[in-house]
Amino acid sequence: MRLRDHVVVVTGASSGIGRATAEAFARKGCAVVLAARREEALEATAQECGKHRGARTLVVPTDTTDVGAVEELAARAVREFGRIDVWVNNAAVNAFGRFEDVPIEDFRKVLDVNVMGYVYGARAALPVMRAQGRGTLINISSVAGAVAQPYSHPYSMSKHAVQGLGSSLRQQLRVEGVKGIHVCTVMPATIDTPHFEQAANFTGRRVLAMPPVYSPERVAHAVVDLVRHPRREVVVGPAGKALVRQARRSPAVAERAMARQTDKTHLSHDEAAPATHGALHVPASGEGAVHGGWGGRRRTALRRTATVALVGAGVAAAGRRIGRTA
């Protein structure tokens, strides 16, 4: 399928995966509608997108927890470009902390953005796609949607919900006999974005990107490829694929491996961190950035392969420990 002149809406387009995805579609000659809370950052994204084949852009500052704002986002896309071919639900936030320590208002905010924001996006996009007879809805989930993490309860809950949303929507479209609309879910492993620095944190420890770390461009490539070749679910990153496979074969082993890895490498044992609401309630300042400085762009295929082997060895060891204690 040729993507040139497709109309693509991307939420969370001010930084990270969203910005990388918007730029990837712009390079294909698509018209890109950019949504997030930070207008300055969206303008920076639009400027980058405009460098590729003179891609058309539309900046729509949007709080995805506001259903009216999301409906207006869809309406503006249609008024400007006449249709919506692709809608990417990507805007997401995170809050780290022991279950009892994360403030309820922060817990609720994560669920509002990561779950209800996707619901609002789907409800705004699908009627347009139904009227057109075609379209692709892509929800950015996470490997945490298959294997939950400790110290990240609301985020893990939200990403499990995104998996369920995609599955239920596909089933509804199937029983209704709708053939031209696709619903796809993307499950990235750890990605090199500003996400971790912007998260709320009540652990007392600095949040780190849990290795191995992959580039946001890798996720963007997967998203673009889904428009050409729609699939139910796609995991991005070899380590993530290995973990998801393990979770489907032996959930208890995968849970134990994830718990150990999170405590060992996701939260620093050397750097303390003050309690912070991060960018949950007030957007981060600045123009936004694709990368977070975690080295995702520099990892070679060889290093990724070695890391997957180490992860597999850790999972196997966890399985042996469980077997001894069973």
Active-site residues, by number, are: 155
CA 233 vs. chain centroid, Å, equals 13
Backbone angles phi, psi at 190, to 5 degrees: -70, 130
Residue among 193, 189, 187 nearest 239 (CA): 189
Residue among 192, 156, 147 nearest 17 (CA): 192
Strand, coil or helix: 196: helix
Q: Which residues on neighbouring strands pair with residue 200, listed in sequence order?
A: 95
The two three-digit tokens of residue 159, written as one number: 């990403």
What span, in angstroms and rounded, lies between the C-alpha atoms of 11 and 121? 9
The two three-digit tokens of residue 209, written as one number: 């990107």
- Tell me the residue ranges of DSSP E strands in the chain: 7-11, 31-36, 57-61, 86-89, 95-96, 135-140, 181-188, 200-201, 205-207, 233-236, 267-272
10 Å Cβ neighbour count for 85? 23
- Assign 3-state DSSP to the chain and report helix, strand, coil percentages, each to 5: 50, 15, 35
Q: Which residues on neighbouring strands pair with residue 86, listed in sequence order?
A: 8, 136
> 């986002």: which residue's tokens?
73
Task: Return all residues near 133 (Cβ < 8 A) that are at least 6 apart.
Answer: 180
What is the DSSP secondary structure assignment for residue 113, as one 8-state letter?
I
Are residues 27 and 51 in contact, defined by beta-carbon separation less than 8 angstroms? no
